[in-house]
Structure 1
């Protein structure tokens, strides 16, 4: 069995404004697991904006993804 790809993470986000905070928490947890705590403030802002815009202007399903080459 191949090792999991730890450089990628995706999460399905509910099309509900209350899900924005959940998406931020998810992204912060992934960054912590990757040792990228210094990216938390910027990532929280970006995730908030992207997820809010997706909820307002796109159609479900909404998927948030994070990819890194720093693992």
Structure 2
């Protein structure tokens, strides 16, 4: 039996994407959360509030990728 292949996403890349283009949901696309990325794109980051909350979650290490894995620092 083989272990499932998981790719871990970078904390720094997610942080930079969220800071510069977070209202477009780029950090969510990067971490594999395409559905919520599209929602952020349509709502302009939840009118900026959702993107700001995501930025804080990334900063404190609470943001996870689609598989529930923490971002790698």
- Give the structure-2-normalised TM-score: 0.33
Q: Greater strand share, 1 or 2?
A: 1
Q: Greater helix share, 1 or 2?
A: 2
- Give the structure-1-normalised TM-score: 0.33
